[in-house]
């Protein structure tokens, strides 16, 4: 909002850093563009944790909107069955990519009463009005600092309340009084099928923006520390969230910080479902890339810059990870540690030493500069300097923390050379199912592997695939 970098610390007097991230719309598999945003949020959260800050990470599930309703109806499933299926798939992909589960994962459908209560508060305070069909709209011109996040000049907001000659329009001609007003509640339409709820304004369903205002209020309070999302959400979604929340609660300062990640592009265009230029994690795994390689490729660019997706980028991620594994093995040997002793730190157990990785940590903490941090990591790993066992142990402590912050898990996947892509894919899916504690799916996938003549040997921190 200020276009400045600010230190991230929990609000004065609070022990926990509250972080709200707009989550996925569950109407199909999330694409890796979506996962760029979710993975960068995961790195931010992990970095805060390594810095000793206790984080409460809330990431919602959008399980009611035009897309989910259309998808459920096309598949002949109930909205609940349909969105549950895609939520589970999302969880499996998240686990495969090493994303820490958020502390709270509220769903829009499970927060209908909270959304209605907030809309009611907005109507009562004169910030919203009910249209003839029972839809409710937010009155943007009632919110005098609307546009502050995107630095929009309020006086220039498009309006239909007056025509170009400055004469008042007949409000009855329009469902919305102003073109910039947006729906808080949408009255029931035949195409919504069975997906409607009762409200003081009749049957209908919430508009999209209100869900994040209602769920952040419920789980983090009227003000919290940081709000995240892809850059496409900055306007109008986040601007609308601020307006709804601050006008409903009367409390200014909805989110203290905003964290918007730039897009993943394909041939210079945003990767998106509507453009049909997307890749899913499954597609990349089927081509022989491990989820960790995908993760690395997604975080290797700075969050403020768009990142062009290429297969060359995935190949680079593969060699970068191999280089980190090799360098880590060398350091472990110098420290007299085994691979099993290279344990990612859990918050309470973070050792204080950083060794030669102190500068990588410094760089990471400055505006979450992941590429800069990785550059420092390679410099240290490539150094020919002779070090003592004790120095190597300090290095190991520092490196384990850096890799934990980046969410890079080493030594998890056996090299996939010689393993057919469909076997690699089944293996990755089974590992992800196991991580997500979906044991029924994990068993089913193991049986499929067995039927194809392969076995999967689980280790504590990964697995190997062996031909029977």
Count of alpha carbons within 13 angstroms of residue 386, beta-carbon side: 0
Site size toward ligand AMP (CB under 6 A) is: 17
Q: By CB under 6 A, is residue 272 in contact with ligand AMP?
A: yes
Q: Which stretch binds Zn ion (CB under 5 A): 21-29, 45-53, 186-194, 381-389?
A: 21-29
Question: Which of Zn ion, ligand AMP, none binds 25 (CB below 5-8 Å, type-dependent)?
Answer: ligand AMP
Distance CA 230, CA 5 (A): 18
64 makes contact with Zn ion (CB under 5 A): no
DSSP state of 236: I
Residue with smaller CB distance to Zn ion, 212 or 299? 212
Any residues with CB less than 8 A from the CB of 65 and at least 6 apart, and which?
25, 108, 208
With CB under 6 A as the contact rule, which of the stretches 32-40, 143-151, 330-338, 355-363 interacts with ligand AMP?
A: 32-40
Q: Which of 8, 19, 21, 22 binds Zn ion (CB under 5 A)?
A: 22
Q: Is 255 in the site for Zn ion (CB under 5 A)?
A: no
Q: Report if residue 264 touches ligand AMP, rule: CB under 6 A.
A: yes
CB 251 within 8 A of CB 11: no
Kindly state whether residue 212 participates in binding Zn ion, applying the rule CB under 5 A. yes
Q: Does 209 bind ligand AMP (CB under 6 A)?
A: no
Q: Are strands 16-21 and 54-59 parallel, antiparallel or unpaired?
A: parallel
Radius of gyration of the chain (CA): 25
Binding status of residue 285 toward ligand AMP by CB under 6 A: no
Q: Applying CB under 6 A, does 240 fall inside the site for ligand AMP?
A: no
Count other C-beta atoms under 10 Å from residue 141's C-beta: 16
Say which entry of ligand AMP, Zn ion, none residue 212 contacts (CB below 5 to 8 A, set by partner kind).
Zn ion
Q: 207-224 burial by CB neighbour count: b if 16+ within 10 A, else e?
A: bbbbbbbbbbbbbbeebb
If we measure between CA atoms, which residue out of 115, 237, 240 comes closest to residue 185? 115
Of 96-104, 226-234, 366-374, 407-415, the window that binds ligand AMP (rule: CB under 6 A) is 226-234
Q: How far is the CB of 56 from Zn ion (least distance, A)?
A: 17
Buried residues in 142-178 as b, exposed as e (16+ CB within 10 A): bbeebbbbeeeeeeeeebeeeeeeeeeeeeeeeebbb
Q: Which of residues 407-466 bind ligand AMP (CB under 6 A)?
A: none
Binding to ligand AMP by residue 230, rule CB under 6 A?
yes
Report the alpha-carbon distance of residue 202 to residue 11 in Å, rounded: 40
Nearest residue to ligand AMP, by Cβ distance, number only: 230
- The answer to whether residue 270 forms part of the interface with ligand AMP (CB under 6 A) is yes
User: Among the candidate windows 131-139, 267-275, 318-326, 332-340, which touches ligand AMP by CB under 6 A?
Assistant: 267-275
For residue 366, give the 3-state DSSP assignment. coil
36, 298 contact by CB (below 8 A): yes
The nearest distance, CB 255 to ligand AMP, in angstroms, is 14
Terminal Cα-to-Cα distance of the chain (whole angstroms): 58
Is 34 near ligand AMP (CB under 6 A)?
yes
The answer to whether residue 24 forms part of the interface with ligand AMP (CB under 6 A) is: yes
Which chain residues interact with ligand AMP by CB under 6 A? 22, 24-25, 33-34, 36-37, 62, 229-230, 232-233, 263-264, 270-272
Which chain residues interact with Zn ion by CB under 5 A? 22, 212
């Amino acid at each position: 909002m200020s276009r400045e970098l600010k230190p991230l610390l929990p609000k004065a007097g609070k022990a926990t850093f509250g972080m709200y991230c707009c989550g996925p719309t569950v109407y199909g598999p999330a694409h890796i563009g979506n996962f760029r945003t979710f993975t960068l949020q995961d790195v931010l959260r992990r970095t805060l944790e390594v810095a000793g800050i206790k984080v409460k990470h809330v990431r919602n599930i959008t399980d009611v909107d035009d897309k989910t309703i259309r998808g459920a109806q096309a598949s002949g499933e109930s909205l609940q069955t349909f969105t549950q299926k895609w939520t589970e798939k999302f969880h499996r992909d998240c686990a495969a990519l090493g994303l820490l589960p958020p502390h709270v994962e509220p769903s829009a459908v499970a927060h209908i009463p909270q959304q209605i209560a907030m809309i009611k508060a907005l109507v009562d305070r004169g910030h919203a009005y009910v249209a003839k069909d029972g839809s409710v709209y937010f009155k943007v011109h009632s919110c005098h600092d609307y546009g502050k996040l995107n630095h929009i000049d309020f006086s220039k907001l498009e309006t239909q309340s007056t025509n170009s000659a400055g004469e008042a329009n007949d409000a009855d001609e329009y469902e919305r009084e102003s073109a910039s007003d947006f729906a808080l509640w949408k009255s029931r339409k035949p195409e919504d099928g069975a997906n409607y709820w009762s409200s003081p304004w009749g049957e209908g369903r919430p508009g999209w923006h209100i869900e994040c205002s209602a769920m952040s209020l419920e789980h983090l309070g009227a003000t919290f520390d940081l709000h995240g999302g892809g850059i496409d959400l900055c306007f109008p979604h986040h601007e609308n969230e601020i307006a709804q929340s601050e006008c409903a609660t009367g409390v200014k300062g909805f989110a203290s910080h905003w964290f918007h990640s730039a897009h993943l592009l394909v041939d210079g265009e945003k990767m998106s479902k509507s453009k049909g230029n997307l890749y899913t994690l499954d597609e990349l795994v089927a081509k022989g890339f491990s989820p960790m390689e995908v993760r690395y490729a997604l975080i290797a660019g700075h969050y403020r810059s768009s990142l062009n997706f290429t297969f060359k980028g995935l190949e680079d991620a593969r060699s970068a990870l191999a280089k980190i594994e090799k360098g880590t093995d060398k350091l472990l040997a110098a420290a007299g540690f085994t691979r099993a002793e290279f344990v990612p730190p859990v918050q309470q157990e973070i050792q204080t030493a950083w060794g030669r990785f102190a500068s990588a940590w410094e760089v990471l903490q400055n505006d979450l500069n992941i590429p800069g941090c990785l550059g420092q990591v390679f410099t240290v790993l490539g150094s020919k300097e002779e070090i003592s066992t004790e120095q190597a142990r300090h290095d190991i402590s520092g490196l384990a923390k850096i890799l934990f912050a980046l969410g890079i898990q080493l030594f998890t996947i056996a090299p996939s050379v010689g393993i057919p892509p469909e076997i690699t894919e089944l293996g990755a899916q089974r590992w992800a199912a196991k991580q997500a504690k979906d044991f029924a799916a994990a068993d089913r996938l193991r049986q499929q592997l067995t039927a194809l003549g392969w076995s999967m040997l689980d280790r504590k921190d990964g697995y190997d695939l062996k031909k029977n």
